[in-house]
């Protein structure tokens, strides 16, 4: 029993960005089950209220804040309010993210910047706001949601791959700079997961759908629930000497060279 206590999140405050639905919601729900108080954000009041109701339907009292993670001033104000109203954050999950699937030669620099802004600059901005509280508290866990595109490229996702590759290195750098304060910063790298973000890829008859299933040794798309055990591990005392690591939860994609031709 005592070893299982290392995996408990009892008494911890977890801030999961962009967690009204999808992977963020799945992780936050599991954190609540493991004992944590859940804080999340979304970009407007209506979406936050909707998110709160979704948590309520699962029997979870979550605290929602209106905040665009790319707006540094708003992020600083939100983290200050969370610390005042709920307490110092123990666990930060930089989950909010977007993708734009556009061939590089057709992509406007403005679109490229937008993806970098949400997927890379925002984890920097939010971590920067949260780390001082963690230093004061004497511990902290930061989990950056990376991707297969932290390691691999493919057609149309140049901005996303650049951002997620950068996020892997931001993870290692935060670990390097703040490990001495008992802060662990790790990445969680999902494979291809069934969420609204990947919905356009999973439509009936879309060859990308069967391509992903063939490329995944587990032979299926992942679900947000597949990520919850690893996400709890990285947020809990059980991972206190794991720092700067990216834990890929991909059904084996990165291990696999691909199916040999028939
Ligand atoms: P999703 O279903 O599209 O959800 C993304 C969330 O991010 C939404 O709640 C969205 O809020 C929020 N968000 C976007 N921009 C924001 C901003 N500027 N400020 C605040 N919140 C913002 O995506 P997902 O599939 O759950 O992905 C979650 C994370 O995992 C992302 O970082 C994604 O890149 C990563 N990931 C996904 C997969 C996959 O296969 N699905 C695999 C690897 C990594 P709104 O309500 O405003 O839309
Ligand atoms: C794509 C996908 C992704 C995944 C994910 C893989 O178009 O290739 O949307 O990049 O969502 O990040 O790990």
The protein residue with its alpha carbon nearest to ligand 1, atom 29, reads 95
For residue 249, count CB atoms less than 10 angstroms from its CB and return exposed for 0-12, middle for 13-18, buried for 19 or more: middle
145 lines ligand 1 (CB under 6 A): yes
**pLDDT value at position 115?**
99
Q: Is residue 201 part of a domain?
A: no
Query: How many distinct structural domains can be found in the chain?
Result: 1
Q: Is residue 233 part of a domain?
A: yes
List the chain residues with pLDDT less than 70: 1
Q: How far, in Å, CA of 124 to CA of 86, rounded?
A: 22
153 lines ligand 2 (CB under 6 A): no
Q: Is residue 155 part of a domain?
A: yes
Question: Among 96, 111, 209, which residue has the most ligand 1 atoms within 8 Å of its CB, making it the best to mutate?
Answer: 96
**pLDDT value at position 2?**
85
The alpha helices in the chain, defined as continuous H runs, are 2-5, 22-33, 45-57, 72-85, 109-116, 122-137, 158-178, 207-215, 228-235
**pLDDT value at position 224?**
98
- Separation of CA 101 from chain center: 19
CATH number of the domain where residue 238 is located: 3.40.50.720
Q: How far, in Å, CA of 227 to CA of 225, rounded?
A: 5
Q: Using the 8-state DSSP alphabet, how is residue 104 labeled?
A: G
Which listed residue (160, 178, 192, 248) is catalytic? Answer: 160
**pLDDT value at position 262?**
86
Q: Comparing C-alpha atoms, which of 196, 42, 68 is closest to residue 122?
A: 68
- Residue 160 designated active-site: yes
The pTM of the whole model exceeds 0.95: yes
pLDDT digits (tens, 9 = 90+) for 170-214: 999 999 999 999 999 999 999 999 999 999 999 888 999 999 999
Q: Is residue 206 part of a domain?
A: no
Q: Give residue 142's domain range.
A: 8-193+223-254
Q: Is residue 259 part of a domain?
A: no
């Amino acid at each position: 029993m005592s070893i299982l206590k290392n995996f408990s999140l009892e008494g911890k405050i977890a801030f999961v960005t962009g967690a009204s639905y999808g992977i963020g919601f799945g992780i936050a729900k599991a954190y609540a089950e493991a004992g944590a108080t859940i804080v999340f954000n979304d970009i407007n009041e209506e979406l936050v209220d909707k998110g709160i109701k979704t948590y309520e339907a699962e029997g979870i009292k979550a605290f929602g804040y209106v905040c665009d993670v790319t707006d540094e001033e708003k992020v600083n104000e939100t983290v200050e309010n969370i610390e005042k109203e709920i307490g110092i954050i123990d666990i930060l999950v930089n989950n909010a993210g977007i993708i734009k699937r556009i061939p590089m030669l057709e992509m406007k620099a403005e679109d490229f910047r937008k993806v970098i802004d949400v997927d890379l600059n925002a984890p920097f901005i939010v971590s920067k706001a949260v780390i001082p509280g963690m230093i004061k508290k004497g511990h902290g866990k930061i989990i950056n949601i990376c991707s297969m595109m932290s390691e691999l490229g493919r057609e149309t996702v140049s901005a996303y791959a650049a951002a997620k590759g950068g996020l892997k290195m931001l993870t290692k750098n935060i670990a390097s700079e703040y490990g001495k304060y008992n802060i662990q910063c790790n990445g969680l790298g999902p494979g291809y997961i069934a969420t609204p973000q990947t919905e356009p890829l999973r439509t009936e008859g879309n060859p990308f759908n069967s391509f992903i299933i063939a490329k995944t040794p587990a032979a299926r798309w992942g679900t947000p629930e597949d990520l919850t055990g690893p996400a709890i591990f990285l947020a809990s005392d059980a991972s206190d000497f794991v720092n700067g690591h990216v834990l890929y939860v991909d059904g084996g994609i990165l291990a696999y060279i691909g199916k040999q031709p028939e």
